[in-house]
Amino acid sequence: MTTSGIRRASPPQAVHKVRDNFYLVQVSITESPSGDWRRLFYDAQQDVPADFAPRSVEITGTFLRFKSDPESVERKIGLLDRWMERASQKEAAMGGRTESQRQKKEELAREAQELGEWNARWAKL
C-alpha cells in the first residue's frame, strides 16, 4: 500500500467547555477510518496512560474528539499521533485490500476533501 495511512490533518481545537478548565478537544484526520483501523486504534496500543485510554477518544467521520484540561492537550496529541500511526501500520500489514475497498476509500477521501473545501469557503460566513 502506498498511502502513509491516517494521520492528523489539523491542530487541536477546543469545541466545547465541559466544565472549568476542561474542554472537548477535536482534531481532524486525513480520512474516515475503516472498521479494522478503528479496532486497531482502540485495541492495539501499548503503554496507555491511566488518564487517557484510546477508548476515551471518539472517532466520528474525519474527527477525533477527547476531553482534556489545557495542560495535557499537547501530551495527548502526541499519544494520538502515535496511536494513529500504529493503527495505520497494522492495517497496512493486514493487507489484502480488494479493489472495491480501495475505490471506496478513495471516494471517501475525495468526499472529505470536498467537504473541507466547502467548510473553508464558509468559515467566515
Each residue's pLDDT tens digit, 68-96: 999 999 999 999 999 999 999 988 888 75
Position 99 scores a pLDDT of 54
Read off the C-alpha cell for 76.
Answer: 495527548
Give the phi and the psi of residue 101 in degrees, each rounded to 5: -65, -40
Identity of residue 76? K
12: nearest Cα among 3, 25, 1, 21? 25
105: nearest Cα among 122, 123, 83, 88? 88
The answer to the question of residue 4 being in a domain is no
Position 124 scores a pLDDT of 86
The answer to the question of residue 6 being in a domain is no
The answer to the question of residue 57 being in a domain is yes
Position 73 scores a pLDDT of 97
The answer to the question of residue 80 being in a domain is yes
By CB atoms closer than 10 A (0-12, 13-18, 19+), residue 17 is exposed
The answer to the question of residue 1 being in a domain is no
The answer to the question of residue 3 being in a domain is no
pTM of the predicted protein model: 0.73
The answer to the question of residue 85 being in a domain is yes
One digit per residue, the tens of pLDDT, for the chain of length 125 reads 335 689 999 999 999 999 999 999 999 999 999 998 999 999 878 878 888 999 999 999 999 999 999 999 999 999 999 999 999 998 888 875 555 677 777 888 888 889 889 999 998 88
* Domain hosting residue 61, numbered range: 13-122
Position 30 scores a pLDDT of 95
* Total domain count, the chain: 1
The answer to the question of residue 8 being in a domain is no
What is the Cα–Cα distance from 78 to 44, expressed in whole angstroms? 16
Q: Which residues lie below 8 Å from residue 14, measured CB to CB, with a gap of 6+?
A: 23, 24, 25
Position 71 scores a pLDDT of 96
Position 2 scores a pLDDT of 39
